[in-house]
Amino acid sequence: MPSKIVVPELGESIVEATVGHWRKNQGDRVAVGDVLVELETEKVDLEVGAERAGVLARIERKEGEDVKIGDLLGVIEEAPSDGAAAAKGGEAKPTKKAEPGETGMKEEAGIAAAAEADEAAPKRMVTPLARRIAEEHGVDLSQVQTSDAAGRIRQRDVESFMENQSAEAAAPTKSAGKPAAGQPAPQLVPGSAAPRARLEERVRMSRRRQTIARRLVEAQHTAAMLTTFNEVDMTELMQLRARWKEKFKKQHGVSLGISSFFVKASIGALRQFPRLNAEVQGTEMVLKHYYDIGVAVGASEGLVVPVLRDADQMSFAEIETAIKEFARKASAGELTLDELRGGTFTLSNGGVYGSLLSTPILNPPQVGILGLHKIEDRAVPVEGKVEIRPMMYLALSYDHRIVDGTEAVQFLVRVKELVEDPASLLFTL
């Protein structure tokens, strides 16, 4: 009896996906558990496996098509046994007598086909987006090198390979364009410029990138978003890290960064100003008395925000370890839906990319996001004297529908106070 391959449950609030890459071709034999097709969702990529053994008889939805939960992807039928296949063939048909030279040609074709099969045998792990880009530009994935620890070829690997190929192709072209010895160089008309190629490229956005774009526009259209700024003196925190970093890493196996201090400081401020840890539902405010802090992490296919569950119950070491693991998983494309779901407040550290100041955009339905920035030495007045101190700008974007300006300013001041006196975090949390 045929077995249908359908789009499975995709996770909370996710109802659509895009067919990424079929791992099996129509007519291939499959075993129970074999991965048949990859699906791209707005948050993570999912693999759909075979629930029964047989033959992939039909592929109903092609790569790049949008599908919904329950849609038919393909059909698996029972694989005929060798005996049944022979019986179905009936009496043996007389074989055609080979023409002179035909046998040798067939043997050569068979050898070539076998060689091609041997070359195609090793299967490399490739993300759906990387595979699509490679196919669009005719890139041989067997030639692409990857820096991914798991050996998976990602979008950046394909793009890097294409850039290197373009540079190599351009080098001989430039050499060929030089005039031969003894020949005068071509003269340009005054005021004119040499013609140059005007290249354009059309690349389909991944479902994740489409979702990011939609949610950012949604945040702008639905929330009364406003941003307030302050600056924090990082002297005490940097000195504390310098004193404890070696012992901390030796004991916990992870470096003591600044993120854990800002997570703890944000929680301390959220307890005093709970409306920044809420969301709007119709005409009601939903105040949340738990602290699931989202930490924005850059990935090759777009920004993702994994969540520290019950961050108020986590130690500094647990927070730093979790953030390091989030970054690794984001790079490898291994984040799960559970790790990305929910969140009551978000931190976004643009300083790691060199950003001095920015206005972060809310992550709906949250009503607050704290932006961290580059630490930079600046001249500041300290007790009547000018000193050089490591300073950081902070930016708090908030939903003015339920958060008043005074609350937002006081929240940011409280974060500043806690970070400038990091030892106080041990007593306030």
Active site residues: 400, 404
DSSP three-state, residue 396: strand
Structure tokens at 95: 């074989």
Q: Tell me the CA distances in angstroms from 380 to 374, 383, 390, one per residue in order.
A: 16, 10, 10
> Is the preceding omega at residue 365 within 30 degrees of 0, hence cis?
yes
d(CA 43, CA 45): 7
Nearest CA to 36 out of 18, 54, 48 is that of 48
DSSP 214-245: HHHHHHHHHS-EEEEEEEEE-HHHHHHHHHHH
Residue 327 phi/psi, 5-degree rounding, is -65, -40
The continuous run of DSSP H or E covering 172 comes out as helix 155-176
Local structure of 192: helix, strand or coil: coil
Residue 84 neighbours by CB under 8 Å, 6+ apart = none
- Tell me the pairing of strands 35-40 and 66-68: unpaired
